[in-house]
Structure 1
């Protein structure tokens, strides 16, 4: 597949990605290389990457603990200490090998260390490939609140090698699929409904579907790099999705949800809200919701849960002047930002989600 040349960085695929990485290392004459991994990617992915890198400088590995609970400023502090103790300078390169948590943390750590060193993302999860590593957003959570601390700064290169997906459990694949479904809903109905019938899905089409999904995000992100307007469309399903994810992360009585699992619920809720607020076609709402439900387990929400989830909405990054702003659909491929939603409409959306089970 051809490399995507964006305004400030490249996205390279498969074998070409390693050629581009080695060209970058050679052309920039980096003083040292650091590779950030979590314990999972260190075990399953590091050997393969080691065999592909061509560099005459010292390479140090930095390992962090996996999991959303470690996506914190404390983890960044440990990364900064390790970089400093191992002589990293402004001409060092940080390569982030892992899922969305690793690329988010690594990008933020690199952007702040010595006021910014170069970094490369090598996402090893489907979610990382189609979403987290794309678009230049880097950051950490503030306690259980998602992505409250961060910076928008692009990597020098994003490398997409679908071979890493062979190391993933099914639930992690589904987590990434949620973002691909989102991209289809806001931009390309054909890509969305490519997943309608799992029995007809062809695995060999996955690389092209990943590339199509990446193109949706990069097109929007390049037109609005600092999320002043259009880029907010990428948050479809995320307003309530993030609130649900944060609530489950903080509650000792609830099972943790992967990002994509929470966003899948958020998208179904947003589809129903689109019917209520924008008169989105109810038949399309039902059809799209059933496609999403095909891939994700049903989560039960009590009235108490819903009340608590709504308290997290005030922290959503799209909010302004005290208003909670939603991204909804006028039609598939036609998102509308800054939509106001009533408490009663949110209750109806949760009732609709419950009815699908």
Structure 2
């Protein structure tokens, strides 16, 4: 697969990825190489990665606890201290190997340590391949508020090795599919049709789906790097979805929701609002709901939890002057940016999801 060229870095695929990584390390003045993993990627992905780089390259590994609950400033402090203990300097390189939690946090750590050192992202989940590792967003959660602290910072490169997906449980793979559904709804009807045919379950098709998704995101990012306009579209489903994800993250008595599972609910709710306010076709709304329920099952959201979820939505980064803003759809590939709605409409959307 041809590399995808972004603003100041490239995204490389499969075997070409490692060749470009090794060329980069050999041609640049890198003092030390540090690998950041979480428990899962340390066990399932790091051994393979080590076989792809020359024995002459000395690496030191820093491992953090897995899970969104650990994507916080305390984990950053731990990694900053480890880098200091291991005598990292401004010529050091951090390679982030893991899902979106690792690439988001690792990019933030690298960009702030000694006012910035170089980093490379190697996403190992479908979610991080098609979304989190591309687009130069780095950051961590503040309490239960998603990605509230962070900055835009470009990696040196992104390496996509789809064989890492073989290590994922099906539930984790499905979580990434939600972001691809988002790309289909907002930009590419053919991609959406491919997903609805469950082609993501086929290895060859999945490689193409990953490539198409990254192409879409990269094109949007190149046009609107700092998310002042068009890039906001990539948040479709996330206004409601992030609030649901945050609520479940903060309440240990509730079954854990993965990012994609929460976003899938958010897309149904926001598609419902789109139907009511923008004329989004009812047939498309019903088809979306049917596919999401078939793929993810249904999460029962108690009416008692809804006020707290609505309150969390007030902290969404797209909000303007205290007003919650949404991405709404007129049709597949036709969207409205910074749309307003009411809490009552969100409650209606959640009721539509539940029935």
Place the TM-score, normalised by the shorter chain, in its bin. over 0.9
Conserved in 2, the CA contact under 8 Å of 1:8 and 1:154?
yes
Whole-Å separation in 2 of the counterparts to 1:109 and 1:283: 45
Give the gaps of 5 or more residues in structure 1.
none
Separation of aligned partners in 2, 1:111 and 1:319: 26
Partner of 2:283: 283
Question: CA separation in 1, counterparts of 2:200 and 2:299?
Answer: 27
Aligned partner of 1:31 in structure 2 is 31
TM-score by length of 1: 0.97
Distance 1:66 1:199, change over 3 A: closer
1:42-61 paired onto structure 2 within 5 Å: 42-54=42-54, 56-61=56-61
**What's 1:66 paired with?**
66
Shift of residue 253 of structure 1? 2.6
The more displaced of 310-319 and 281-290 is 281-290
Indicate whether 1:138 and 2:148 are aligned. no
Superposed CA RMSD in Å reads 1.3
Structure 2: distance between partners of 1:325 and 1:54: 49
The residue number in structure 1 matching 2:296 is 296
For residues 186 and 199 of structure 1, what CA distance do their matches in structure 2 show?
Answer: 19
Contact 1:195 1:291 in 2 (8 A): no
Q: Give TM-score, length-normalised by structure 2.
A: 0.97
Which residue does the alignment assign to 2:10?
10
Residues 35 and 97, structure 2, Cα contact 8 Å, conserved in 1 = yes
Q: Do 1:92 and 1:117's aligned partners in 2 also have CA atoms closer than 8 Å? A: yes
Distance 1:199 1:133 in 2: 23
Whole-Å separation in 1 of the counterparts to 2:252 and 2:41: 28
Q: 1:199 to 1:232 in 2, by over 3 A?
A: closer
The answer to whether the aligner puts 1:330 opposite 2:339 as a matched pair is no
Aligned equivalents of 1:165 and 1:199: distance in 2? Answer: 15
Query: Take 1:282 and 1:6, find their aligned partners in 2: how far apart are those partners?
Result: 37
Gaps of 5+ in 2: none
Report what 1:187 is aligned to: 187
CA distance in 2, matches of 1:201, 1:168: 12
Contact in 2 for aligned 1:134/1:217 (Cα 8 Å): yes
SS of the equivalent of 1:91 reads coil
1:89-118 CA-to-partner distances (Å, cap 9, x unmatched) read 111000000001000110000000010011
**Deviant stretches of 4+, over 4 Å:** none
Corresponding residue of 2:92: 92
